[in-house]
Amino acid sequence: MKAMVPAMAATLALASGPLAGQELTFPPGEDARFHWDSFETLREQDFSGQRLTILGPWLGPDRTLFNSVIAYFEAATGAAVTYNGSDNFEQQIVIDASAGSPPDIAIFPQPGLARDLASKGQLAPLDPSLGEWLRENYAAGDSWVNLGTFPGPDGQEALYGFFYKIDVKSLVWYVPENFADFGYEVPGTMEELLALSERMVDDGVTPWCIGLASGGATGWPATDWVEDMMLRINPPEVYDQWILNEIPFDDPQVVAAIEEFGRFARDGRFVAGGPNAVAATDFRDSPKGLFAAPPQCFMHKQASFIPSFFPEGTVIGEDADFFYLPAYESRDLGQPVLGAGTVFGITRDTPVARAFIDFLKTPIAHEVWMAQTGFLTPHTGVNTDVYGDPTLRKMGDILLEATTFRFDGSDLMPGAVGAGAFWTGMIDYMGGQAAETVAAGIQRTWDTFK
């Protein structure tokens, strides 16, 4: 996940414990919205007396919620599962795998690290049939297969990762009351979004609030903008080539995406405070303009986490709402979605580990978390009525309607590029440098890895 706050100390913090006997959050069979048949099918496997260890990044509420899902696997199969959550996961899994003492399953917050372990032979290929299952049961299924496919130690590609628990970034936030006061409607295409921005200017109001400041991570919100624009003006294959530097950062297709971001952020008519304010405004403060009286702006692009920084008591769906950042109708590139998520991989190949991956294919493994909070899934076989609140359901619908999903590009690049030159380059761009100049500078950093 892209850095959005100063990095946590690199000390290991673990929260763990076996779940045997844990009470099930939703008693099987009592709520007809759940796919209990998929739970009953699990009972056909008996792993009584066998232990399964899982290491991942989830602590706090996410750990509790994941444990509530694990409990159903335990109850159905008899396995005893221990989940360890670490705020130093990236370092810990490398240490454990290199020492020959990995967990059975690792939960990677970014596919790049999973790719590294697969190349070293420290990740087991998943069942080849899982790829076809993903194509048939996940929206934009090819995207998930591609994201979880890595070269092994012999250079041959195989499916190593299963994505579960997804975040959506292609969102625009607004205040419905402000839209209603001016008679604005939610745009359905990028052409309509640009026309709406121009109309707002004509009405004497400012369309956008944008903030790029984030301490040592200043600049990262602009990379999300560029990534979304890459998917809206280029085919997804170009995006894939870009993040691997198979086309250079200063390729005209990439430069054009930076300039698409500039259409919003460098147009003094479009952005609150003008372009100079964009780089100086903290990303946590930038949405506050939506709620000012009178409004300082009418739209704010940011991922699903941003309501944490809305005024206290804001009710999503009433006081604030969101819409999908639309694609260009004229370009006919479908409905791409930018996001992030966690990918499960087998780091110690055992029958119970493979059974747990199969468990993650079942609707019940998704619906138990969906019915609580903080979970989105592209699984087309779930009942979306189960979502714990309408906001999650609406975000889930965006995932299900996606024709293409792509992972946050800067998180897939080498750290010096994605979390370094790309960030600072976007600040230089906001300072007035040409997109070609900025892109060439970022490419020079890429070249150090060749």
Residue 308 within a domain: yes
Same domain, 159 and 197: no
Residue 4 within a domain: no
Same domain, 67 and 111: yes
- CA separation, residue 265 to residues 200, 252, 302 (Å): 15, 20, 14
Residue 380 within a domain: yes
Same domain, 393 and 349: yes
Same domain, 125 and 69: yes
Q: What's the average model confidence in pLDDT over 224-237? A: 98
Q: What's the average model confidence in pLDDT over 132-155? A: 97
What gap in Å lies between CA 238 and CA 306, rounded to an integer?
29
Q: What's the average model confidence in pLDDT over 351-376? A: 97
Residue 230 within a domain: yes
| pLDDT for 22 | 58
What gap in Å lies between CA 374 and CA 368, rounded to an integer?
12
Same domain, 383 and 435: no
Q: How confident is the model at residue 398 (pLDDT cuts 50, 70, 90)?
A: very high
What gap in Å lies between CA 186 and CA 133, rounded to an integer?
35
User: Rounded to two decimals, what is the model's pTM?
Assistant: 0.92
Residue 9 within a domain: no
| Tens digit of each residue's pLDDT (9 = 90 or more) over 96-119 | 999 999 999 999 998 999 999 999
Same domain, 315 and 381: no
| pLDDT for 14 | 36
Under DSSP, the state recorded for 420 is I
Place of tokens 């400041």: 213
| Tens digit of each residue's pLDDT (9 = 90 or more) over 279-300 | 999 999 999 999 999 999 999 9
Residue 276 within a domain: yes
| pLDDT for 46 | 96
Q: What's the average model confidence in pLDDT over 165-186? A: 98
- Assigned token pair, 442: 């970022």
Same domain, 420 and 376: no
What gap in Å lies between CA 120 and CA 115, rounded to an integer?
9
| pLDDT for 449 | 86
- CA separation, residue 378 to residues 58, 119, 134, 165, 363 (Å): 20, 27, 10, 9, 11
Same domain, 164 and 175: no
Residue 3 within a domain: no
Classify residue 442 as exposed, middle or buried by CB count within 10 Å of its CB (0-12, 13-18, 19+).
buried
| Tens digit of each residue's pLDDT (9 = 90 or more) over 317-363 | 999 999 999 999 999 999 999 999 999 999 999 999 999 999 999 99
Which CATH number covers residue 434? 3.40.190.10
Same domain, 330 and 351: no
What is the domain count for the chain? 2
Same domain, 400 and 426: no
- Assigned token pair, 24: 């099930």
Q: Which domain holds residue 342?
A: 14-168+338-407
| pLDDT for 8 | 29
Q: What angle is formed at CA 53 by the lines to CA 50 and CA 54, rounded to 5 degrees?
A: 145
Same domain, 191 and 328: yes
Q: How confident is the model at residue 37 (pLDDT cuts 50, 70, 90)?
A: very high
For residues 325, 313, 319, 201, the Cα torsion angle rounded to the nearest 10 degrees is -70
| pLDDT for 11 | 28
Instruction: Encode 114-144: b = buried (16+ Cβ within 10 Å), e = exposed.
Output: bbebbbeebbbbbeeebbeebeebbbbbebb
Mean pLDDT for the chain overall: 94
pLDDT at 9 over 80: no
Same domain, 200 and 164: no
Residue 84 within a domain: yes
Q: What's the average model confidence in pLDDT over 262-269? A: 97
Lowest-pLDDT choice from 2-6, 142-146, 402-406: 2-6
What gap in Å lies between CA 300 and CA 285, rounded to an integer?
11
